[in-house]
Amino acid sequence: MATLVRWDPLREAAALHTELSRLMNGLFEGNERQTQAWVPTLDVWETDDSVHYAFDLPGLTQDAIHVEVEDGTLTVSATREREQHKDTDKFHRFERRFGTFSRSIGLPQGVSENDVKASYTNGVLGITVPKPEQPKPKRIEVEVAGEHPVIDAAANS
């Protein structure tokens, strides 16, 4: 049985952007040596009161991860060191990426930097950003020109 999925051009554009970022990170440096930089995957979702970010950072210690908020921008950076192996080990492939990455994301306008929370569990860095309280419209009473409020004389006695 086939499942139909509605085409979402924005989701497709975001996926393309992620893949292009990964491709550009793996291009050659000026010295003709291929970089081993990495860009971790990121999920972003929204609830009624906050925005959540989840970065896949397996194999890193909490000390290797840096989270900063400045001028409405969330920046996550980390360094993964390449493991040293004995000369007797015979490796056939090196696919795991290592090096330093930095990723910056714009936050909703009006976010308080002190309210951003981060946690690291099972290789996933979770960041919760509470949405700023939206100003509520103020209701203004409309007065009609020439009308005065009625004063109840019996209530004043």
Q: Read off the pLDDT of residues 87-142 as tens digits, 9 standing for 90 and up.
A: 666 766 666 677 788 888 888 888 888 889 999 999 999 999 998 887 778 888 88
In our burial notation (b when 16+ CB lie closer than 10 A, e otherwise), range 113-152 reads eeebebebeeeebebebebeeeeeeeeeeeeeeeeeeeee
Q: Element (H or E) spanning 76, and its range?
A: strand 73-80
Who wins on pLDDT, 142 or 5?
Answer: 142
pLDDT at res. 28? 46
Q: Which of 7-11, 42-46, 62-66, 104-108 has the lowest mean pLDDT?
A: 7-11
pLDDT at res. 26? 54
Using the predicted structure, report yes or no on whether residue 31 has a pLDDT greater than 80.
no
Token pair in block for residue 121: 């569990």
Vertex 36 angle, CA 31 and 38, to 5°: 135
pLDDT at res. 30? 42
Who wins on pLDDT, 29 or 37?
Answer: 37
pLDDT at res. 156? 54
Q: Which of 30-34, 36-40, 111-115 has the lowest mean pLDDT?
A: 30-34
pLDDT at res. 34? 46
The CATH code belonging to domain 36-82+96-133 is 2.60.40.790
- pTM of the complete model: 0.60
